[in-house]
Amino acid sequence: MLKGIHMTLMVGPVVPLPVPQIVLDALTSVEVTSSAGGPSGFQLSFTLSNRSPLHTLFLVAGGQTPLLRVIIIVTVNGAPQVLMDGVMTHQQVSPGNQPGHSTLRITGEDLTRVMDLIDFSGLP
């Protein structure tokens, strides 16, 4: 019997921390894609208002996508399961249906993406 499902979202530059409840309240969609032959990915969608704390959490770099680690954990019947441990690779803000509200989409890949950013040339 299913006793409960809980999602935890952790975000941070090096050591991710659980996001505040106000961020989870703005979360409208979570999509995780698992791939055996290539990088796995994720997409998070949020409702973004003019005074949302999401501006400081995800949009601080002013156009450049900062290297933010994102961990998505789902706890089912008390057993936590990490669905994704990755980094944010793209952010997009699109207009919403209501004035003063937009949609923020965060896209990312698993931690193998970080390996692409490190230069290993010259190493044996």
The answer to which of 21-35, 72-86, 91-105 has the lowest mean pLDDT is 91-105
84 by DSSP, 3-state: which?
strand
What is the pLDDT at residue 53?
A: 76
* Domain annotation for the chain: domains and CATH numbers: 5-117 (2.40.10.10)
The pLDDT tens digits of the residues spanning 90-119 come to 888 888 777 778 898 999 999 887 777 777
**Residue 81's beta-bridge partner residues?**
74
Amino acid at 39: P
DSSP string computed for the chain: ----EEEEEEEESSS-EEPPHHHHHHEEEEEEE--SSS--EEEEEEEEETT-THHHHH-TTTTS----EEEEEEEETTEEEEEEEEEEEEEEEEE-SSTTEEEEEEEEEETHHHHHHS--TT--
- Of all residues in the chain, what percent carry a pLDDT higher than 70? 86
